[in-house]
A = this chain, B = another copy of it.
Amino acid sequence: MSYPINRRRFLVTTAAAGTAAATVQLTPGRAAAQDGELPDFASFKTPDDVMVWTGNTIETERGAQGGSITGLSSLFVRNNLPAPPQSITDDPDGWVIEIDGVANPGSMTLGDIKRLGVITVSSVLQCSGNGRAFFGHETSGTQWSVGAAGNVVWTGVPLNAVIAAMGGPADGANFITGTGGEEIPAGLDPNTIMVERSIPIGALDQAMIAFEVNGEPLPVAHGGPARMVTPGYFGVNNVKYVKKVALTAEESQAKIQQSGYRVREVGAGGAPDQPSMYEMVVKSWITTPLVDVQSGKILIEGVAMGGVSTVTGVEVSTDGGATWQAADFTGPDTGPFSWRPFALMADMPAGQYELASRATNEAGDTQPEDFPPNHRGYGHNGWRDHAVLVTVV
């Protein structure tokens, strides 16, 4: 989204967690990408709309978010391993995916899979660590604020159709396990670095083998030629370059599953008995204004998602949560996994304002004011830390 305040650097003020409002830079030390800074596999991103943290982690500028759909030119990128070469997308229909844990295990090409029936689903893609920058404790990992999220339209084949084509599930299947196609350097134990994620088998209701995003063939930066996408599930579960999908009795033995992406107390190590980052939750944030504005009628805009239940409403506060007004959705309802842009026109004389938003979904969940700390800084959806301080002059 290109909004008035977009496409240039800005310093923004935000309310700090659980304390009096403090002026901080939203993404400390980072600003819009510099010329030539984008890695090759993400060279199609618009530099002014993204911040490049590393060659594998690119965040969308908060001011470049805001519409119903996030263009690929601003969509965030998060790879756990270096991406495969561009040539991996040269022949999408020839890409082979091994299917296991079914009555008749075997391999199918993406071309074969497409013949099973194509669906389109709109959904939020969000990194587990989105909002990590807002936690009060020190966290390792990319200090995402709100920009490790986007709303996109996936086109692909229901995993259920693939499973059915292979004779149906084998007995005892509890998980869907997807394996990424990244090259594992020789001599390393694959389990230490491979991208292999297991999600509960109930997710078969929405899991798909996606081959397009926003109507475009999946680029390598977003997992092309084929990605296992489960709408409603955090990013890490949407395995890029998927080369194997198995219905399994147990979770993957990979570190990324066993100890990674586990929610635990600050200071604790990751372990399989802790909750894994599976389903997303209700969340919203304001995308404009982010900088000082002229007094008068001011349009406050943002995005709101329901997680795995349709977002039904969003309230906006201009006084740090003392009072709330219902905002209007400004884009269509595209299902439970999708976000919707919202807007509220507010009369704002000169002064300081703490702008906050609070979404509710069909299941009745509402964003909490505060979100408790966890070791790795996952899943923050507290509305206060997502608020922005704006001076109206």
Contacts and interface: CB of A to CB of B under 8 A. Distances in A.
Given A92-B2, A332-B334, A67 B341 contact: no
A259 to B, nearest CB: 36
Contact of A335 (B3, B67, B111, B332): B332
B212 A215 contact: no
The SS class assigned to the A binding surface is loop
A120 B211 contact: no
Contacts of A93: 2, 4, 7
Contacts of A345: 117
Contact of A69 (B46, B73, B120): B120
A278 to B, nearest CB: 23
Interface string A116-147: 11111110000000000000000000000000
A212 B73 CA distance: 12
A208 to B, nearest CB: 11
Given A214-B214, A215-B69, A334-B334, A341 B120 contact: yes
A252 interface: no
Contacts of A121: 331-332
A348 to B, nearest CB: 13
Contacts of A1: 118, 155, 212, 215
A343 interface: yes
Contacts of A66: 118
Interface string A302-325: 000000000000000000000000
Contacts of A216: 71-73
A341 B120 CA distance: 8
Nearest to A75: B215
Contacts of A385: none
A46 B89 CA distance: 14
B3 A114 contact: yes
A68 interface: yes
A391 interface: no
Query: Interface size for chain A: under 10, 10 to 19, 20 to 34, or 35 or more residues?
Result: 35 or more
A299 interface: yes
Interface in A42-73: 46, 66-73
A122 B335 CA distance: 14
A155 B303 CA distance: 14
Nearest to A66: B118
A74 interface: yes
Nearest to A114: B4
A77 interface: no
A153 interface: yes
Contact of A4 (B7, B111, B332): B111
A215 B215 contact: no
Given A4-B114, A299-B115, A334-B332, A120 B67 contact: yes
A330 interface: yes
Interface string A1-34: 1111001000000000000000000000000000
Given A67-B215, A120-B331, A334-B334, 15 more contacts: A1-B118, A2-B93, A2-B211, A4-B93, A4-B114, A4-B115, A68-B122, A69-B120, A69-B153, A72-B215, A73-B216, A117-B301, A117-B345, A118-B330, A122-B332
